[in-house]
């Protein structure tokens, strides 16, 4: 099992160090729980373990690390809960007997399409957020441990933001020759794919970053 590219490993070490510096070992344990649970779930779903790049690691863990450096337990926990909810939803949703529907229109979409959700995956995402919330509650400082409902809600809000952005503003691409759909610019199918919707600069990593930011913001507001 190789989980990270070389750059991804460097980024993961930076995120881990920043989080530990700001929040202590409890913060690192929270990050590790997200990372390990996501890896185990993707093994169970028998998906090709993604070798995460530095960009992907920072998109998922960067907001938590920055919040940690400010000593903001609730915000860091909310960001990690959002990342966990999204990961658990994706991996557990792979077991859904029904194909996903687009969160905005309800139209059926093929598996793996950004913005597509399943009931099973959504339940899995809520479970992921609740797991991180429980851990944050146990590991957080006794006087200022973030509330269970607050962090769970932050994680779920982040997951919904991820799906909404994935369905609307995230860049969508199509092969001009065969109409196959893609989510990455610079993909060559029969020809170079062309942008058919969304914003060119907003890819899956950007959406993940926005989702964790949303999780952090909801947790911050909810804990005051």
**Residues within the interface to Zn ion (CB under 5 A):** 175, 177-178, 180, 189-190
Nearer to Zn ion, 141 or 191 (CB): 191
Nearer to Zn ion, 69 or 175 (CB): 175
Instruction: Write down the least CB distance from residue 38 to Zn ion, Å.
Output: 31
Calculate the alpha carbon distances from 14 to 69, 111, 168 in Å.
12, 33, 32
Q: What DSSP line would sit under 103-160, residue for residue?
A: TTT--B--TT-TTEE-HHHHHHHHHHHHHHHHHHHHHS-TTTPPPHHHHHHHHHHHHH
Q: Are 62 and 15 in contact (CB under 8 A)?
A: yes
Q: How many CB atoms lie within 10 A of CB 121?
A: 23
Instruction: Write down the least CB distance from residue 177 to Zn ion, Å.
Output: 5
Nearer to Zn ion, 120 or 189 (CB): 189
Longest dimension (CA), the chain: 61
Instruction: Write down the least CB distance from residue 175 to Zn ion, Å.
Output: 3
Nearer to Zn ion, 186 or 224 (CB): 186
Instruction: Write down the least CB distance from residue 222 to Zn ion, Å.
Output: 46
């Amino acid at each position: 099992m190789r989980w990270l590219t070389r750059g991804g490993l460097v980024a993961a070490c930076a995120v881990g160090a920043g989080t530990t510096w700001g929040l202590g070992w409890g913060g690192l344990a929270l990050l590790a729980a997200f990372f390990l649970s996501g890896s185990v779930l993707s093994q169970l779903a028998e998906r090709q373990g993604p070798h995460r790049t530095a960009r992907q690691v920072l998109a998922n863990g960067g907001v938590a690390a920055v919040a940690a450096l400010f000593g903001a337990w609730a915000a860091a926990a909310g960001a990690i809960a959002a990342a966990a909810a999204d990961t658990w939803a994706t991996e557990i949703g792979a077991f859904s007997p029904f194909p996903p529907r687009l969160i905005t229109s309800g139209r059926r979409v093929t598996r793996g399409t950004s913005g597509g959700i399943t009931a099973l995956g959504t339940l899995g995402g809520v479970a992921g957020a609740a797991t991180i919330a429980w851990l944050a509650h146990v590991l957080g400082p006794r006087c200022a441990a973030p509330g269970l409902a607050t962090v769970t809600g932050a994680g779920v809000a982040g997951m919904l933001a991820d799906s909404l952005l994935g369905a609307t503003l995230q860049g969508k691409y199509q092969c001009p020759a065969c109409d196959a759909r893609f989510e990455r610019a610079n993909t060559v199918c029969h020809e170079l794919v062309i942008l058919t919707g969304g914003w060119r600069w907003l890819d899956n990593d950007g959406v993940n970053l926005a989702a964790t930011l949303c999780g952090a913001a909801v947790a911050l507001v909810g804990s005051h």
